[in-house]
Amino acid sequence: MPVWHEATKALQESGQIQVVGIIQEQHPDRCALFMQWKEMDWPIMVDSLDLLGVSAVPITVLIDEAGVVYKVRARTRDLEAFLSEPPVEFEEAAAPQAPNLEELRAHVSSEDSSDLRDPANLNALRYFIDSVFLWGGPQRLDEAILIYQSTLVMHDDATFAFHLGVALQSRYEKSHEPDDFARAIKAWSHALASDPNQYIWRRRIQQYGPRLDKPYSFYDWVSQARDEISARGETPLPLGTEPRGAELAYPARTFVVDETAKADPDPDARINLDQRGLIGIETIVVPTTEAGGSSSRVHVLLTPNESLNAHWNNESDETEVWLSPPPGWRVNALGRTAPNGPGAVSTEPRRVEFEILPPDDASPGIHVLSGYALYYVCEDADGQCLYLRRDIQIPITVR
Amino acid sequence: MRSLFFVLATAAILLTATSGAKAQSVIEVGQPFPGLVLPALKDGSPASIAMYRGKKVVLHVFASW
């Protein structure tokens, strides 16, 4: 993209061309930071659902004055011929408007539209749900998810499944409900299974998946971007969700084990168990998308129980999670820690991630790995603080 | 919401496993660029490639990863 930017900067400034972007990304704010970093200020449209239907990026498209496609997958060397084309006649287009959701709802709710064997009806329903997601705002996200799910029950459609995953992940990043993340991965995996050449869909899983399956680090550029933006005297644009764990991890060709891990801190299970569930723990397994691959990345999510007014105690050691793999199974680290939050107490969700590789002779099916978490938790913001253990079990599917 | 679910429930009876309309856009040389209306990154307002009629457009479809 920066190569294109250099090739077109003067042309854009002189008005000879208009540079525009469409981003195929779950997190548009990360693209905004990228644009700030590279000092690219052309207009961007957000296509998180991939309504454009591209299967890989980047793609550069040249479009003439009438909105007709001149070249797809253009290279900078195509610019000269494009610019030498005489201007074509065009009609002014109406200003773009968001669809009226209530009109769309009324249309898809009519009995005339109920037969989804009619492609027109199916597409009308698709347009309605996608519009609820795109234009309904956070208050209608639940509605969009509910209708995607209801429709998928009746009509197994890969695009619906991908869109459901995008909506679930969006909700997860607002509410931190672990089940939404797990269901997003499941929905994306379902979509990809029907179209393994859809790399936009594949990347959404790989973003959170194991290193053996990664084409590159997805967001390793973020810290460098912030440093360079700050060095220019500017303030880096904020991110709604910080990239971490799998999103920052680099690809690996072999399974990498961290040999520096310290010893199991509670091998005999002597630390008191968290009987009341002050901390909720969920595990989400992101499988490889690689054909025949078997590694997985396990996300362990720990959340203080709001109904018990539980808080992390930050004036103590960090939260730890330990795994005990069966013989032959490999994990990249037996133990991982999650850093303490700000202040004396806090309630933020915490996450640690592991990579797991079953033995070659593991039988197909579900295997359960055990582990536990150790944490300092307070029963209230100013209540009694305890050091507790919670055991966890992680189901891993071997294909 | 209830009427929509009534329709969806009715559709469940009518649907067959073979129905498979695709709603993907197509970018083809010589054809108008798809008339999608998408949120602008800057402020979330409705935006479209059609806004740039009268100009030669260089469109990058990309991601920051």
Three-state secondary-structure class, residue A2: helix
pLDDT at residue A139 tops 50: yes
**Is A105-206 CATH 3.30.460.10?**
no
pLDDT per residue as tens digits for the range A228-255: 999 999 999 999 999 999 999 999 999 9
pLDDT at A113: 75
DSSP code at position A236: P
Report chain A residues whose CB lies below 8 A from the CB of B29. 69-72
Q: How far B10 CA sits from the closest chain A CA (Å)?
A: 7
**pLDDT under 70: residue ranges of chain B:** 1-25
Residue-wise over A22-60: b if at least 16 C-beta within 10 A, else e?
A: bbbbbbbbbbbbbbbbeebebebbbbbbbbbbbeebebb
> Does the CB of B22 have a partner CB in chain A at under 8 Å?
yes
Q: What is the DSSP string of A150-194?
A: HHHHHS--HHHHHHHHHHHHHHHHHH--HHHHHHHHHHHHHHHHH
Q: Which residue of B has its CA nearest to A51?
A: B24
Q: Cβ separation of A25 and B48 shorter than 8 Å?
A: no
d(CA A75, CA A190): 34
Q: Is A117 helix (H, G, I), strand (E, B) or coil?
A: coil
Report pLDDT for B7. 53
Measure A43 CA to nearest chain B CA, in Å. 7
**Structural domain boundaries of chain A?**
2-84, 105-206, 258-398
Q: What is the biggest distance separating any 2 CA atoms in chain A, rounded to whole angstroms?
A: 80
Select from A232, A179, A42 the least CA-distant residue to B52.
A42
Report which of A360, A384, A354, A385 is spatially closest to residue A372, judged by C-alpha positions. A354
The ipTM value here is 0.91
The residue among A69, A113, A201, A239 with the most chain B CBs within 10 A of its CB, best to mutate, is A69
Query: Would you give the end-to-end CA distance of chain B in angstroms?
Result: 38
Q: Which residue has the tokens 């919401």?
A: B1
CATH number of A258-398: 2.60.40.10
Estimate to the nearest angstrom the gap between the alpha carbon of A210 and the chain centroid. 14
DSSP for chain B?
-HHHHHHHHHHHHH--TT----------TTSBPP---EEBTTT--EE-GGGGTTSEEEEEEE---
Q: What is the pLDDT of residues A251-279, one digit of tens each?
A: 999 998 887 767 889 999 999 999 999 99
In the prediction, which pLDDT does A115 show? Answer: 79
**Where does A211-255 have alpha helices with state H?**
221-231
- Looking at beta carbons, which residues of chain B come within 8 Å of A4? 58, 60
- Cβ distance B58 to A127 less than 8 Å, yes or no, reads no
Phi and psi at A254, nearest 5°, equal -125, 160
Domain boundaries, chain B: 36-65
Q: Which of B25, B45, B64 to mutate to test the interface with A (most CBs of A within 10 A)?
A: B64
> Taking all residues of chain A, what is their mean pLDDT, rounded to a whole number?
94
Q: What's the first-to-final CA gap in chain A, in angstroms? A: 38
Averaged pLDDT, A55-68: 96
The hierarchical CATH code for the domain A2-84 is 3.40.30.10
Contacts of A90 in chain B (CB under 8 A): 53-54
Please say if the pLDDT value at position A109 is more than 90.
no
Q: How far apart are CA A247 and CA A245, in angstroms?
A: 5
- Asked whether the beta carbons of residue B60 and residue A65 sit closer than 8 angstroms, the reply is no
Lowest mean pLDDT: which of A39-48, A199-208, A373-382? A373-382
Average pLDDT over residues A104-115: 84
Give residue B20's pLDDT: 36
Q: Is the dihedral of CA A188, A194, A196, A201 positive or negative?
A: negative
- Chain B hits for A92, CB-CB cut-off 8 Å, are 53-54
Among A332, A320, A295, A335, residue whose Cα is nearest residue A377: A320
B30 and chain A in contact, CB less than 8 A: yes
